[in-house]
Structure 1
Amino acid sequence: MDSSSSKSKVEQQIDENLKRVYNDAMKDELPDRFMNLIAQLKAKEGAVSNGN
């Protein structure tokens, strides 16, 4: 086996693993503390756009 074909297989495994981890992370719900932070940021954004 030459180095280019083994590198290709390694890159393919890395791609598959990254996709698997990403898909698993996308299925998880956001923790409450992040949801609270997003709500606070939206409230501030609304206050700024309303001139407060």
Structure 2
Amino acid sequence: MLGLPKGEVFLTPWTEEWEEEFLIEKETIQKKISKYIVDVHHIGSTAVNYLS
């Protein structure tokens, strides 16, 4: 699952899956609009290992 269901917030421990999902999404974005962007970054709580 990518993201959260609308209207719900919950905490889960960080996992490598977050990083893997980001890399998949980054590749998809870069393939579609790479000529319009410089880079894609993963920011937020899911990007920080051991935050929770």
TM-score normalised according to structure 2 size: 0.37
The structure whose Rg is larger is 1
TM-score normalised according to structure 1 size: 0.37
Greater RCO, 1 or 2 (C-alpha within 8 Å, sep 6+): 2
